[in-house]
């Protein structure tokens, strides 16, 4: 058995000096005086130990994102589990789509992986396919209120039908909430006026378009009487909507993403088309929204910070499809590698969130949201997914250290305080000081449980 000794253990509730005993892939004890049980000692003096990160929102292969070969980036950044969104090809059932996507990850992924479904081809029998999802280990389904004109945009009636069925099977509804008609209205006007540069993507999707859709999604969840999870919340108003619904007794939760916390709209206006690198939906917002989101994650109004990682195959060149027209810029921002370091450096080190909130936001609650019952916690019986974090490290994030398989770094030039010195995946050392030292394919598929137990945990102010 392995013993990680002398470190300070961080959990979502507390921190304490304690040792962690690992038997094979599992944590078997946490405490003191465990030496006699160990045959292998790892000294973590001066270091923090927290649960391996759970990134519950990634696009390895959907929306043009690079595939699972690039999950080394997650491992070196301290994320040991990803929950990846499954693209659905036309004609495939939701379950078939999951198995096709799982086949791409199996034997390749460097971190453990679970899946969320996405309805991208709504058919009359789509609601009926929901009952199959628990068998495929899927506990959440994302639906798109935005992207009108694409096959995955869904009318309210379709969303309500899927919601209604999901309730019987403990599947959490997720929505991408942006008002499509408002976006079309703004887009037509901008284009008519000849405003075609990347920054106009954000002008076509101002905060009201998100808040309106979030409130509408919450109303639909009320009609269908289902729990709701709003993905990638980027505005104060959308967050307030989630907060108010929860305070009013509705099971409504939401996440934000690293980039919404630390990158503002000025990035979209960078010259030489550089702004296109930061085009995602919803778009980056102003500092005022960022400050609100920091308060929101501190107070628990949003319960997770995900990356919404989407490292476009083709990189910056691919973004140039929208050189003449911002509506043609492929959406998506990479960020799986530095989610944890950025949140620590900008959050914990700057006193915006506590270490406990940090652990909760990057690992414990995402695991619960996604129904991953053995992940996200340092306690006996949980998977030995652990990060030994060196808080004294200082560095600068740069593209040359990036393993996301793309030709630019989202957080280029950001100072970081601390980094994952060692990363353990189910007891295996897979990354050390920014280098992946595990083996390709060491990540296992994780089957999520339906939400029954998942929503009792949220701390709210």
Site residues (vs ligand URP, CB under 6 A): 59, 63, 176, 232, 280-281, 308, 310, 331-332
Closer to ligand URP by Cβ: residue 84 or 383:
84
Binding partner of 369, given ligand URP, Zn ion, none, CB within 5-8 angstroms per partner class: none
C-alpha–C-alpha distance, residues 227 and 387, integer Å: 32
Q: What is the CA radius of gyration of the chain?
A: 21
Binding partner of 280, given Zn ion, ligand URP, none, CB within 5-8 angstroms per partner class: ligand URP
Closer to ligand URP by Cβ: residue 49 or 217:
217
Among 131, 191, 195, 320, binds Zn ion (CB under 5 A): 131
Closer to ligand URP by Cβ: residue 333 or 373:
333
CB of 47 to Zn ion, least distance (A): 32
CB of 310 to ligand URP, least distance (A): 5
Sequential DSSP letters for 162-230: HHHHHGGGTPEEEEE---HHHHHHHHHHHHHTT--STHHHHHTS-HHHHHHHHHHHHHHHHHHT--EEE
> Counting every residue, how long is the chain?
461
Distance set, CA 40 to CA 34, 37, 294, 381 (Å): 12, 9, 40, 19
Closer to ligand URP by Cβ: residue 293 or 388:
293
Distance set, CA 38 to CA 347, 388, 389 (Å): 35, 18, 22
C-alpha–C-alpha distance, residues 76 and 121, integer Å: 35
Q: Which two tokens stand for residue 300?
A: 């628990």
Among 84, 210, 308, 360, binds Zn ion (CB under 5 A): 308
According to the binding rule CB under 5 A, does residue 195 interact with Zn ion? no
Maximum Cα–Cα distance across the chain = 74
Binding partner of 318, given Zn ion, ligand URP, none, CB within 5-8 angstroms per partner class: none
CB of 114 to ligand URP, least distance (A): 17
Closer to Zn ion by Cβ: residue 202 or 422:
202
Strand partners, 120: none
Binding partner of 63, given Zn ion, ligand URP, none, CB within 5-8 angstroms per partner class: ligand URP
Strand-by-strand arrangement of the 2-5 sheet:
26-31, 19-23, 2-5, 40-43
CB of 63 to ligand URP, least distance (A): 5
Closer to Zn ion by Cβ: residue 213 or 373:
213
Q: What is the contact surface with Zn ion in residues (CB under 5 A)? A: 131, 168, 176, 308
């Amino acid at each position: 058995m392995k013993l990680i000794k002398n470190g300070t253990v961080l959990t979502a509730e507390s921190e304490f000096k304690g040792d962690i005993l690992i038997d094979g892939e599992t944590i078997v004890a946490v405490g003191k005086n465990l030496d006699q049980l160990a045959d292998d000692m790892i000294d973590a003096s001066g270091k923090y130990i927290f649960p391996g990160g759970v990134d519950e929102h990634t696009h390895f292969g959907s929306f043009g994102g690079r595939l699972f070969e690039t999950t080394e980036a997650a491992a070196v950044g301290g994320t040991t589990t990803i929950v990846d969104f499954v693209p659905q090809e036309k004609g495939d059932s939701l379950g078939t789509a999951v198995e096709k996507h799982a086949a791409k990850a199996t034997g390749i992924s460097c971190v453990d992986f679970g899946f969320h479904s996405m309805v991208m081809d709504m058919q009359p029998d789509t609601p009926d396919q929901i009952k199959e999802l628990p068998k495929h280990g899927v506990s959440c389904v994302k639906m798109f209120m935005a992207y009108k004109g694409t096959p995955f945009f869904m009318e309210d009636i379709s969303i309500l039908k899927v919601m209604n069925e999901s309730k019987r099977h403990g599947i959490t509804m997720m929505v991408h909430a942006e008002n499509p008609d408002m976006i079309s209205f703004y887009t037509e006007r901008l284009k008519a006026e000849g405003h075609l540069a990347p920054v106009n993507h954000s002008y076509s999707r101002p905060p009201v378009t998100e808040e309106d859709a979030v409130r509408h999604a919450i109303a639909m969840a009320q009609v269908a009487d289902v729990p709701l999870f709003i993905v990638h919340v980027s505005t104060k108003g959308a967050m307030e909507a989630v907060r108010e619904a929860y305070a009013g007794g509705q099971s409504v939760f939401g996440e934000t993403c690293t980039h919404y916390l630390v990158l503002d709209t000025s990035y979209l206006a960078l010259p030489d088309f550089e702004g296109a690198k930061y085009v995602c939906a919803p778009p980056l917002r102003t500092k005022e929204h960022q400050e609100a989101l920091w308060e929101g994650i501190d107070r628990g109004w949003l319960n997770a910070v995900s990356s919404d990682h989407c490292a476009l195959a083709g990189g910056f060149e691919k973004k140039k499809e929208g050189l003449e027209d911002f509506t043609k810029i492929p959406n998506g921002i990479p960020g799986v590698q530095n989610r944890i370091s950025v949140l620590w450096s900008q959050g914990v080190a700057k006193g915006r969130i506590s270490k406990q909130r940090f652990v909760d936001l990057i690992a414990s609650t995402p695991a619960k949201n996604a129904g991953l019952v053995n992940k996200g916690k340092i306690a006996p019986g949980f998977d030995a997914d652990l990060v030994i974090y060196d808080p004294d490290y200082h560095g600068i994030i740069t593209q040359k250290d990036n393993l996301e398989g793309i030709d630019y770094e989202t957080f280029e030039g950001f100072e970081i305080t601390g980094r994952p010195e060692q990363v353990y995946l189910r007891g295996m050392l897979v990354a050390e000081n920014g280098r992946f030292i595990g083996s390709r394919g060491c990540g296992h598929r994780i089957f999520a449980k339906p939400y029954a137990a998942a929503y009792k945990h949220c701390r709210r102010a």
